[in-house]
Amino acid sequence: MAWVNENFAALEDSYLFSQVAHKVADFSAAHPEKKIIRLGIGDVTLPLVPVVVEAMQKAAAEMGVKETFRGYGPEQGYEFLHEALVKYYVGFGVTLESSEIFISDGAKSDCGNITDIFDDANVILVPDPVYPVYLDTNIMRGRKIVFMEGSPENGFLPMPDPAVKADIIYLCSPNNPTGAAYSKAQLKEWVAYARQNGAVILYDAAYEAFIEDEALPRSIFQIEGAKECAIELCSLSKTAGFTGTRCGYTVVPLALKRKTKNGKAMSLNKMWLRRQTTKFNGVPYIVQRAAEAVFTPEGQKQCRENLAYYKENARLIGAALQEKGITYYGGTNSPYIWMQCPRQMKSWEFFDFLLEKLGIVGTPGSGFGSSGEGWFRLTAFAGREATEEAAERFRKLL
Ligand code: MLT
């Protein structure tokens, strides 16, 4: 008899974005005449930028020639991409060794996979509301999870509570779903807390490229002492439109050490390398060449143009909400707009209202945690025309 992992029984029936997709599919089937505007899942709509496409084409051609064909690559990624990332981090004033960088098929996978290197007895501290993957992947391991509440009072940026003892801390900045971003001073407090408690911060920086305020940190490693207590997860999905191309990177500093329950000192970098070389065969060469192109000066210029397009979308939505006197967060250093549901509606109630009355899809705040109840997330990733129309519908009907 094969027993299955009973922790799965503790999960919600389906992953948040699948649940939204099913509801929208049912609605579309029932009302094929309605034009639906999708501001739900944060999926990009602009195509890959030209330098990325050229790099992919060149790499694909290399794969078709005996002399330049590549089979298995290094599981942790090719050196050319490590070097590009080392330079990218220098731009934030952060010095990394290339062996501290691990290339993957995206931050979502790494977020889940990183749970492998930690003991299940750890207490996990998760912000609420937050990206559901942190919670669900730890429920799958049967771990004890404690929540820290995000609210308008703390600007949706929970800070350490000395009374709460946690071993693994998830931080996401700029935050998904609220768009709020930690300042350097706030991250300094988190680093101090983690060091004091021997905890490890899993810092999700997937939206760092949206930061426009130069005073805000783009990486947790801009904070002194973070290399002894943090792992950073990053992605090209939103930065460079790689949601369908799949490439991300995780930084595990060489200085990050913790002990096993029996007191054996371990390097987390070595553990992650061991985990990846055992369970992962690396990202395709073609995709890594495409990622390398993102970090060239021309790639950065072209990607920034796309980011500016999405930021303008965020501004358009924000302006419409502001006109209607609706409170919202985010939309400046982030592609997400976190709005309060009007007329004290609950999140799913507002989801149905918005879909049925305005033909707009968003993501219910309560899907990101109980503190998200009464809130709602809109994304800036739709096309311009659809975004303008959504803003217009908000103006007329909300
Ligand atoms: C979101 O909508 O929150 C993101 O697209 C999910 C993800 O990046 O996996």
d(CA 373, CA 379): 18
For residue 17, which atom of ligand 1 is closest to its CA?
Answer: 2
Could you tell me if the CB of 369 is within 6 A of ligand 1? no
pTM: 0.96
Please check whether residues 210 and 281 belong to one and the same domain. Answer: yes
Write down which residue in 239, 261, 295 finishes a domain: 295
Separation of 15 CA from ligand 1 center, angstroms?
A: 11
Residue 5 forms part of a structural domain: no
Closest CA to 145 of 176, 174, 166, 115: 166
pLDDT in tens, the chain (398 residues): 999 999 999 998 878 888 899 999 999 999 999 999 999 999 999 999 999 999 999 999 999 999 999 999 999 999 999 999 999 999 999 999 999 999 999 999 999 999 999 999 999 999 999 999 999 999 999 999 999 999 999 999 999 999 999 999 999 999 999 999 999 999 999 999 999 999 999 999 999 999 999 999 999 999 999 999 999 999 999 999 999 999 999 999 999 999 999 999 999 999 999 999 999 999 999 999 999 999 999 999 999 999 999 999 999 999 999 999 999 999 999 999 999 999 999 999 999 999 999 999 999 999 999 999 999 999 999 999 999 999 999 998 77
Please check whether residues 36 and 168 belong to one and the same domain. Answer: no
Which residue is listed with tokens 């997860």? 233
Separation of 195 CA from ligand 1 center, angstroms?
A: 30
Could you tell me if the CB of 41 is within 6 A of ligand 1? yes
Residue 257 forms part of a structural domain: yes
Separation of 275 CA from ligand 1 center, angstroms?
A: 24
Separation of 51 CA from ligand 1 center, angstroms?
A: 25
Please check whether residues 311 and 280 belong to one and the same domain. Answer: no
Could you tell me if the CB of 174 is within 6 A of ligand 1? no
Residue 112 forms part of a structural domain: yes
Write down which residue in 275, 295, 315 finishes a domain: 295
Please check whether residues 202 and 118 belong to one and the same domain. Answer: yes
> Domain limits at 187?
50-295
Residue 1 forms part of a structural domain: no
For residue 41, which atom of ligand 1 is closest to its CA?
Answer: 2
Write down which residue in 263, 295, 327 finishes a domain: 295
Residue 3 forms part of a structural domain: no
pLDDT value of position 15: 84
For residue 163, the tally of other CB atoms under 10 A from its CB is 5
CATH of the domain at 202: 3.40.640.10
Q: Where are the alpha helices (DSSP H) in 12-63?
A: 16-30, 50-63
Looking at the structure of the chain, the number of domains it has is 2
Q: Residue 202 burial by CB count (10 A; 0-12/13-18/19+): exposed, middle or buried?
A: buried
Please check whether residues 342 and 263 belong to one and the same domain. Answer: no
Residue 6 forms part of a structural domain: no
Residue 140 forms part of a structural domain: yes
Please check whether residues 255 and 321 belong to one and the same domain. Answer: no
CATH of the domain at 19: 3.90.1150.10
